[in-house]
Amino acid sequence: MTLSLCMIVKNEQDVLARALATAAIYADEIIIVDTGSTDRTVETAKKYTDKVYSFEWNDDFSAARNFAVSKAACGYWMWLDADDTVSVQAAKSIARLKNSLDSAVDIVMLPYVLTSGADGRPTFSYYRERIIKNRSDFVWRGRVHEAVVMHGSIIRGKPEIVHAKPPDKSSGTRNLDIYMKKVALDEPFEPRETYYFARELYYNGHIEKAAERFREFLREPNGFSVNKTDACLMLSRCLVKLGKKAEALAPLYDSFKYGLPTGEVCCEIAMQLFSLNQTAQAAYWFESALRAKPDIASGAFIDKDCYGFLPCIWLSVCYDKMGNYRKAYRYHCKARKLNPEHPSVIANQKYFHGLGF
């Protein structure tokens, strides 16, 4: 099959070349749609392709992405953000995948890595629709946090796309402002949009409004189960921030209606119980987090530390507090193996050395 790389960009002169550095390995054509850059983004794009277009920005990411896809001439298209990176190894893997892909496949999901540890291993990731058959029924939807409406034959691949936003670059309130514009225009929200609107409210400090929107999403009969689980987790965090700790555990237990206990939820339950001085109960839930298996293929946000390092480091604290120093040390050793340079590990090592271990 042939593959078009489709990107929308704006003021990305500092990172665009990095994103396009390996594109020629896997893409048969590169399509860049500029939405109003005032720097040298367009000039940078033209070093890699002559298919550079302009699109008047209208606070609608889907509209811009669908315009880019409309220019694709290949059998499949792939998307990247300008601050994404594709390693040479991943690029070659995508090329092999492209050359061997069964034409019956409609969508290829690939891991999207949002954060990595000091050793370069992913710590927070999830699967996204990444390579899509070039058909009119595969379109982007949603003004922000846009996604392709998926159906048909869907497979999962291994090449990782890494989101590598520069640390000094922030989207500010852009996404929230777009959602607020939808509210002002009285535009209907799909369940997925309600969920992401709630997250934007939370991360921009509007905690009470975020809680309302998470509750609204959880009342929806539709919506992905993994988003429902995360909404329970986020609602619980809202309640803690609102000083309603007595109510905060209930949404976490409610999350079990949507699937097996996740490491993220188990750790959250454990930390809340620990804050209530219920140390033995906290240890139970940290151990439950260690037993949980991250469902990478589900599309959920996966915080890998919640399935290894985080419960180990906290179990060391819990068992130390309960006076079981030998068991506390065993969990410290497990945490040390997973992240030897973490400040808590270094501090605990000194502590346990003082105890004679």
Angle at 327 between CA 274 and CA 122, to 5 degrees: 70
User: Residue 19's pLDDT is what?
Assistant: 96
pLDDT tier at 38, thresholds 50, 70, 90: very high
Indicate if the pLDDT at residue 120 is higher than 80: no
The token pair at 142 is 């949603």
pLDDT tier at 289, thresholds 50, 70, 90: very high
Q: CB under 8 Å to 186, separation ≥6 — which residues?
A: none
Mean pLDDT of 92-106: 97
Mean pLDDT of 184-204: 96
Whether 18 and 80 have beta carbons less than 8 Å apart is answered as no
Helix (H, G, I), strand (E, B) or coil at 196: helix
User: Residue 166's pLDDT is what?
Assistant: 78
Read off the pLDDT of residues 250-269 as tens digits, 9 standing for 90 and up.
Answer: 999 999 999 999 999 999 99
Indicate if the pLDDT at residue 54 is higher than 90: yes
pTM exceeds cut of 0.85: yes
Whether 19 and 91 have beta carbons less than 8 Å apart is answered as no
What mean pLDDT is reported for the chain? 95
Indicate if the pLDDT at residue 297 is higher than 90: no
Query: At how many degrees (to 10) do helices 309-321 and 263-275 cross?
Result: 30
pLDDT tier at 128, thresholds 50, 70, 90: very high
Rounded to an integer, what distance in angstroms lies between the CA atom of residue 192 and that of residue 260? 21
- What is the greatest pairwise CA distance in the chain? 68
Read off the pLDDT of residues 313-337 as tens digits, 9 standing for 90 and up.
Answer: 999 999 999 999 999 999 999 999 9
Indicate if the pLDDT at residue 124 is higher than 90: no
Rounded to an integer, what distance in angstroms lies between the CA atom of residue 29 and that of residue 20? 12
Indicate if the pLDDT at residue 196 is higher than 80: yes
Indicate if the pLDDT at residue 122 is higher than 80: no
